[in-house]
């Protein structure tokens, strides 16, 4: 179902909202601005319905918030150090958006664009976006699509695809935040499992320097499920960024048939599984969410939502030595990244 909201987006046109439904009664709402995931409402076994995603009260609040709530991120998710990289002997200068670094594709990234609705029905929607040569400093003309599908086993399946006419790093993801308790509770009381043997330490600006580190014996070992708060801020790597905001190199290595992460609500009435073809998952514990508009009269506070972003490791264009696929897309190739969030009522 497609609805136009009589409120103007930054481009002067109305926001367009789309609703997906499945046979299990789950309802997902999306928006063309930023190809954004707005809401996911899951029926629980006790007959109640639970909202699993963070969101704002109305569409016009999304362009005003800085947390990237539910938005499609591109051309390059996460950070590129000093807003530059070198490819084939040439240095490419990008537009910074967080200090000296570029975050999430630049100050006018794909989250701040209207995506075109190519087709849609009650089970899926396909969005498309084009990006001109030089956009945010990136070379080449890029064509991107994202398809959101809602399956009958309560999966939100997200497929990003892209092509370019010049070599360019491409790293598309969705920046959805979860709180499986369905309210403005502290997500550090959720239980989390991440099936990863290594993580990437970063400095205070989220930039990696020394390469991957084993999770063994550290607060970053989520291979066995644990309550997030159990070792929160218990080491220097966390304290640098006020909690968890780190990429984990996944054991699955692109296998979309095995979960890479699991999340449980505090009351254990709702569980979520994550599947992805991406090499890494960025776990962000919402350390700087405070002040972000919510669906209610009060803004979100820090740590009231968490993100599990599927992507390449941060600053990958400057680190070809890392053990993951090449983040550079070349003419004639197609970028494709699939991520699924499956919701399981207890």
| Residue 171 marked in a binding site | no
Spell 107-128 as b/e; 16+ CB within 10 A means b: eebbbbbbbebeebeeebbbbb
Count the alpha carbons within 13 Å of 318 in the hemisphere toward its beta carbon: 20
Report in angstroms the alpha-carbon separations of 27 from 182, 205, 316: 14, 37, 36
Q: Identify the active-site residue in 175, 190, 246, 319.
A: 175
Residue identified by tokens 């972000």 is 292
* Rounded Cα distance, 223 and 253, in Å: 15
| Residue 175 marked in a binding site | yes
Residues 6+ apart with CB under 8 A from 66: 292
| Residue 177 marked in a binding site | yes
* Rounded Cα distance, 124 and 131, in Å: 23
Region of 237 (left: φ > 0; alpha: ψ -120 to 50; beta: rest) is alpha
- In the annotation, is 309 catalytic? yes
- In the annotation, is 190 catalytic? no
Residues 6+ apart with CB under 8 A from 147: 124, 125, 126, 127, 157, 158, 159
> β-strands 14-21, 27-31: how paired?
antiparallel
| Residue 79 marked in a binding site | yes
Counted residue by residue, the chain has a size of 346
> β-strands 2-8, 14-21: how paired?
antiparallel
* Rounded Cα distance, 86 and 312, in Å: 17
| Residue 119 marked in a binding site | no
Residues 6+ apart with CB under 8 A from 89: none
Residue identified by tokens 């680190």 is 319
Q: Identify the active-site residue in 190, 246, 273, 309.
A: 309
* Rounded Cα distance, 259 and 230, in Å: 23
| Residue 76: DSSP 8-state | B
Q: Which residues are annotated as a binding site?
A: 78-79, 175-177, 245
Which residues are identified as catalytic?
Answer: 175, 309
Q: Which residues are annotated as a binding site for beta-D-galactose?
A: 78-79, 175-177, 245
């Amino acid at each position: 179902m497609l609805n136009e909201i009589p409120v103007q987006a930054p481009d002067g046109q109305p926001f367009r909202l789309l609703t997906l439904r499945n046979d299990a009664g789950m309802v997902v709402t999306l928006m063309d601005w930023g190809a954004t995931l707005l809401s996911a409402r899951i029926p629980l076994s006790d007959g109640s319905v639970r909202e699993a995603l963070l969101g704002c009260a109305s569409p016009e609040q999304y362009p005003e918030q800085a947390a990237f709530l539910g938005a499609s991120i591109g051309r390059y998710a996460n950070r590129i150090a000093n807003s530059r990289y070198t490819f084939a002997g040439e240095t490419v200068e990008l537009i910074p958006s967080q200090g000296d670094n570029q975050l999430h594709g630049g100050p006018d990234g794909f989250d701040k664009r209207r995506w075109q609705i190519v087709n849609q029905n009650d089970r899926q929607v396909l969005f498309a976006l084009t990006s001109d040569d030089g956009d945010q400093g990136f070379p080449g003309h890029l064509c991107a699509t994202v398809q959101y599908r809602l399956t009958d086993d309560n999966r939100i399946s997200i497929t990003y695809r892209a092509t370019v006419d010049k070599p360019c790093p491409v790293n598309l993801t969705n920046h959805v935040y979860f709180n499986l308790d369905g309210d403005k509770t502290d997500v550090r009381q959720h239980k989390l499992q991440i099936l990863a043997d290594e993580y990437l330490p970063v400095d205070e600006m989220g930039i990696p320097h020394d390469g991957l580190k084993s999770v063994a014996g550290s607060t970053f070992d989520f291979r066995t499920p644990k309550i997030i708060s159990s070792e929160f801020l218990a080491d220097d790597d966390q304290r640098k960024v006020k909690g968890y905001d780190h990429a984990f190199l996944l054991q699955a290595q692109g296998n979309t048939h095995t979960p890479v992460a699991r999340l449980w609500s505090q009351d254990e009435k709702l569980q979520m599984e994550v599947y992805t073809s991406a090499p890494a998952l960025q776990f962000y514990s919402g350390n700087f969410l405070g002040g972000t508009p919510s669906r209610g009269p009060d803004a979100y506070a820090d740590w009231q939502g968490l993100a599990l972003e599927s992507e390449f490791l941060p600053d990958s264009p400057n680190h070809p030595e890392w053990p993951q696929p090449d983040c550079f897309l070349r003419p004639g190739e197609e970028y494709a990244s699939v991520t699924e969030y499956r919701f399981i009522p207890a």
